[in-house]
Amino acid sequence: MDDKNGVRRESLPYPWNEISYHLIKYISCEGRYSVVYGYHFRLLQELRFAAETPPQNRLSIPYFLLQLVIDMNIKV
């Protein structure tokens, strides 16, 4: 499998490999469960370090989810 644009999910440490699986399956609704892409990492980073991140650098979760829905709408 060519994963030049992402990282294999199995290479992530536990529990982040399992969290990324659920993120891919239920949040971004993709069928490529073995590769984690940049936008998945951005959400994982927000989940892991939100308390340490300055407010101006935090991810807007509603905006992120809206963009995923728009992307899924275009693909479908």
Write down the pTM of the prediction: 0.69
Looking up tokens 């905006």 gives 63
Closest of 61, 67, 1, 76 to residue 33, by C-alpha: 1
Distance CA 71, CA 8 (A): 22
- pLDDT for 7-41, tens place per residue? 899 999 999 999 999 888 888 777 778 888 888 88
Check: CB of residue 16 under 8 Å from CB of residue 44. yes
